[in-house]
Amino acid sequence: MPSENGVSRREELLAVATKLFAARGYHGTRMDDVADVVGLNKATVYHYYASKSLILFDIYRRAAEGTLAAVHDDPSWTAREALYQYTVRLLTGIAQNPERAAVYFQEQPYITEWFTEEQVAEIREKETQVYEHVHGLIDRGIASGEFYECDSHVLALGYIGMTLGSYRWLRPSGRRTAKEIAAEFSTALLRGLIRDESIRKQSPLGPGADIDTAGRGA
Amino acid sequence: MPSENGVSRREELLAVATKLFAARGYHGTRMDDVADVVGLNKATVYHYYASKSLILFDIYRRAAEGTLAAVHDDPSWTAREALYQYTVRLLTGIAQNPERAAVYFQEQPYITEWFTEEQVAEIREKETQVYEHVHGLIDRGIASGEFYECDSHVLALGYIGMTLGSYRWLRPSGRRTAKEIAAEFSTALLRGLIRDESIRKQSPLGPGADIDTAGRGA
């Protein structure tokens, strides 16, 4: 069902391309395939995106901005609250558009082939901000005595892998909601980091988190 | 430098193809590229592998077998020891051949396109065994009272993502060894799961693990 106006037709085109790239890979998808599935002729597709790599870049930019939107810190939060809030936002975003996250990950090793140096730099800059956020939160928790000593660099990379990697199996209609999965991940990590025994048992996700897993087994 | 005999020439060919597939993708690599880099003519390459997809399948089979080799359980081990031992073996294997792990992950969404149904079934069967091992260990720890209650399915998926996903940054010559990184990951997860406070603080990786991170911050 093609839509009435240009803006939503462009969105539709992007959604179709995202699904095709996720399923067949960017390299394995031709502009003709995109045009066929969206029901437009190729000239119209090129009106919206002058090249296939510009479609991929739009998917990338939105995925990177979505991940960056999960990075929202409130100075009044403890490190555990901030890590949990990041995880909820990130997984909610992935569950809403797992194909976009899939394209992002699947094409990552090859983006220098498709993108200009400036485009690659823009993407890398956003990735660095996400890593630095998670890394910084773990360091903040260590510095304040909230967390055990650990290699915050390695744990930040591991936790980003654990959370972002969920695009492989996280689905909007899955058995557990994105928020429940975020609570499971955060609880496991934070119970492993938090020093204070009563906080660990009773509120590893921070005082505001009203999630049944938080108290489970305590 | 082509080697003297067929067996090692085949290995060399496989190593070159692994590097090319990891860098450019399977779709983006031609048999000509493999032949050029390995310094053989294309007919000789086809003598070793009758098709490009058979090279990919060999990489896949070895990667899956390598992962499965990390799944080694000793009934005398506690769940925490078994999880730590799995992590050490897995990360050591990835650090030895990160390109193989990269090809495995990068091509995963498309393997039904390149492989026969039987080949796909063989790969999926090994993946299931790895998931069931990790899932089963967490369940065993919950059942014995060693671990807190948790969603062992979600945590198994998350932990596999955290550990296998390390191929993105784990390098044989990195700042930390694979064993040290395994200890960081396992300590964080296990400190989050273990109920007993003294075990959590003093030996989260089990009695046999002589790793400085285990006691750090305790």
Which overall architecture, per CATH, does domain B57-215 show? Orthogonal Bundle (1.10)
Residues of B in contact with A188 (CB under 8 A): 150, 155, 158, 189, 192-193
Residues of A in contact with B187 (CB under 8 A): 150, 192
Q: In angstroms, rounded to a whole number, what is the distance separating the alpha carbons of residues B121 and B201?
A: 43
Domain boundaries, chain A: 1-50, 60-215
Q: Using the beta-carbon criterion (under 8 Å), do B187 and A189 form an inter-chain contact? A: no
Q: Which of A190-204, B112-126, B157-171 has the highest mean pLDDT?
A: B112-126
Task: Check the CA dihedral B179-B181-B182-B183 and report its sign.
Answer: positive
Q: Terminus-to-terminus CA distance in chain A, angstroms?
A: 52
- Residues B53-109: pLDDT tens digits? 999 999 999 999 999 988 887 888 999 999 999 999 999 999 999 999 999 988 998
* pLDDT of B212: 45
Mean per-residue pLDDT for B118-127? 95
pLDDT band at B202 (very low <50, low <70, confident <90, very high): confident
Q: Using the beta-carbon criterion (under 8 Å), do B150 and A213 form an inter-chain contact? A: yes
Q: Using the beta-carbon criterion (under 8 Å), do B150 and A188 form an inter-chain contact? A: yes
Rounded to 10°, the helix B52-69/B98-107 angle is 110
* pLDDT of A210: 52
* pLDDT of A5: 61
Q: Using the beta-carbon criterion (under 8 Å), do B158 and A184 form an inter-chain contact? A: yes
Assign domain B1-50 one CATH number from 3.40.50.720, 1.10.10.60, 3.20.20.70, 3.40.440.10: 1.10.10.60
Q: Are B31 and B42 in contact, with CB atoms under 8 Å apart?
A: yes
Check pLDDT > 60 for residue B213.
Answer: no
Lowest mean pLDDT among A104-108, A206-210, B128-132, B190-194: A206-210
* pLDDT of A2: 47
C-alpha distances in angstroms, B86 versus A99, A152, B30, B92, B211?
Answer: 30, 22, 36, 10, 15
Q: In angstroms, rounded to a whole number, what is the distance separating the alpha carbons of residues A214 and A20?
A: 39
Q: Which of B204, B69, B72 is nearest to B137 (CA)?
A: B72
Token pair in block for residue B98: 């990160």
| B158 contact A CB<8A | yes
Check pLDDT > 80 for residue B5.
Answer: no
Q: In angstroms, rounded to a whole number, what is the distance separating the alpha carbons of residues B47 and A162?
A: 41
* pLDDT of B214: 39
The nearest CA of chain A is from the CA of B158 a distance in Å of 5
What are the pLDDT tens digits along chain A (218 aa)? 444 566 688 999 999 999 999 999 999 999 999 999 999 999 999 999 999 999 999 999 999 999 998 888 888 899 999 999 999 999 999 999 999 999 998 899 899 999 999 999 999 999 999 999 999 999 999 999 999 899 999 999 999 999 999 998 988 888 899 999 999 999 989 988 898 888 888 888 988 675 444 334 32
Task: Specify whether domain A60-215 bears CATH 1.10.10.10.
Answer: no
Check pLDDT > 90 for residue B120.
Answer: yes
Give the Cβ contact number of residue A127 at 10 Å.
Answer: 15
